[in-house]
Amino acid sequence: MPANLPPQYYKLEKEFHQESDPGEKLRLAQELLAIMPKHKGTDKLQADMKSKIAKLKLQVESGGARHGVHRTDPHSHVQREGAAQILLIGAPNAGKSSLLDLLTEAHPHIADYPFTTREPLAGMFNWETVHFQLVDTPPVSAEHMELYLPNLVRHADLVLLVLDVSSPHWEQNLSEIRSRLLEKHIVLCGADPPPAPDPMFLYKHTLLAAHKHDEEGGAKALTSLALLAPGHTIVPTSVLDDACASALGAAFFAALGVMRVYTKRVGQEVELIDPLVLPVGATVEDAARLTHKDFAQKLQFARVWGHGKFEGQRVTHSFALTDKDVVEYHI
């Protein structure tokens, strides 16, 4: 039976064979599999591509190559920690490193000249007992983008694009960053991708930090930015604004679509620290499974405290939890 592959398959296949970066090669392989017709004539082709994808995933996750194959950049992967990994991207001197310094215990090199950030730097940002991993990255310009940056964007849970809105060039910076990532088939979008997304592109949820909004021209830039980036959450930021950290934390939390659930032992008081971070709509069973691999299977019932519930309400496995609920498991 003929494969009847679409014309775009052959174009992608050529890119796949010419590409040397494992992260980009993995993306291309996944796209090839997605557009490949599914019938008996492509069974062997599908199996071969799935095998290649598995090998490439292993190569990317291990941070290296095997059997003499091209070696991947060690910066192309940052080990995820905390509730979510949030990648900071921006033009030279946009203020990414200043925000990382403000929000975390990391100490990036900050200077008035461009390209002071040479490699990814991670720090933990604690917002209302939730820990977000923020990763600062080298700047992006029309002339330069680190080869490993697209792979970091693909694997992050969320992207924060930092724009210095006090600069006369911020609109140009926004356009250049979008264009450079579009070359790698990555679209920076708001909460929702377009109604008919192109399967050849990755649509990455991106928040916009309107940095230095409190300086001259900042207020006007905020209005313009809302028109240039409809659908994006825009967070005004400044290292001089005490409310900046709280606003960013709340924006991250809302964008990720998650909630906090605290657990307590039977007969003991709850400590409102280190919550389980679960998708909105998660159940008692989901929380139990995340707490311990055996809890969900052995759980008889649970008691829940929280807004709109009576104290210690007895519930079953399928009970839907809400933000800041406290759960007590009964095994």
- pLDDT-derived band at 66 (thresholds 50, 70, 90) equals very low
pLDDT for position 171: 96
Q: Decide yes or no: CATH 3.40.50.300 for domain 75-256.
A: yes
User: Looking at the DSSP assignment, which residues form a beta bridge with residue 160?
Assistant: 88, 207
Determine how many CB atoms are found less than 10 A away from the CB of residue 18: 9
150 DSSP 8-state letter: H
Q: Is the pLDDT of residue 2 over 90?
A: no
- CA dist 249 and 246 (Å) reads 5
256-261 mean pLDDT: 96
For residue 213, the model assigns a pLDDT of 93
Rounded to a whole number of angstroms, the CA Rg of the chain reads 23
Question: Domain residue spans in the chain?
Answer: 7-72, 75-256, 258-330
Strands 158-164, 130-136: pairing is: unpaired
Give the mean model confidence (pLDDT) for residues 182-205.
Answer: 88
Judged by average pLDDT, the poorest of 133-147, 163-177, 189-203, 217-231 is: 189-203
Q: Do domains 75-256 and 258-330 have the same CATH topology?
A: no
pLDDT tens string 272-303: 889 999 999 999 999 999 998 888 889 999 99
Q: What percent of the chain has pLDDT over 70?
A: 92
> What tens digit of pLDDT does each residue of 311-331 get?
889 999 999 999 999 999 998
In this structure, are residues 208 and 233 in contact, taking their beta carbons and an 8 Å threshold?
Answer: yes
65 near 59, Cβ under 8 Å?
yes
Task: Evaluate whether 54 touches 219 at the Cβ level (below 8 Å).
Answer: no
Tokens of 247: 């606003």
259 three-state secondary structure: strand
pLDDT at 109: 61
State the chain's mean pLDDT as an integer: 88
What the block records as the tokens of 169 is 């060039």
Mean of pLDDT values over 27-36: 84
pLDDT of 67: 42
**Would you state the pLDDT for residue 115?**
56
For position 18, what pLDDT does the model report? 82
Q: Mean pLDDT, to the nearest integer, of 80-91?
A: 95
pLDDT over 70 at 117, yes or no: no
Kindly give, in sequence order, each residue whose CB lies less than 8 Å from that of residue 240, ignoring residues fewer than 6 positions away.
214
43 pLDDT higher than 50? yes
Report the C-alpha gap between 177 and 96 in whole angstroms. Answer: 14
Mean pLDDT of all residues in 13-22 = 82
Taking alpha carbons only, the member of 281, 261, 282, 280 closest to residue 270 is 261
Asked whether residue 65 carries a pLDDT value surpassing 80, the answer given is no
Which pLDDT band, with edges at 50, 70 and 90, does 110 fall under?
low
Q: Are strands 130-136 and 121-127 parallel, antiparallel or unpaired?
A: antiparallel
Closest CA to 279 of 239, 238, 320, 249: 320
Residue 305 has what pLDDT? Answer: 94
Tell me yes or no: is domain 258-330 CATH 3.40.50.1820: no
Whether residue 76 is predicted with pLDDT greater than 80 in this model: the reply is no
How many CB atoms sit inside 10 A of residue 156's CB?
A: 23
Q: What is the mean pLDDT of residues 237-252?
A: 93
Q: Provide the token pair at 160.
A: 């924060």
Query: What pLDDT is stored for residue 307 in this prediction?
Result: 86
The structure tokens listed for 228 are: 């240039």
DSSP state of 42: G
For residue 164, what are its two tokens?
Answer: 């210095």
Q: How far apart are CA 77 and CA 85, in angstroms?
A: 11
| pLDDT (0 to 100) of residue 34 | 82
User: What per-residue confidence (pLDDT) applies to 68?
Assistant: 42
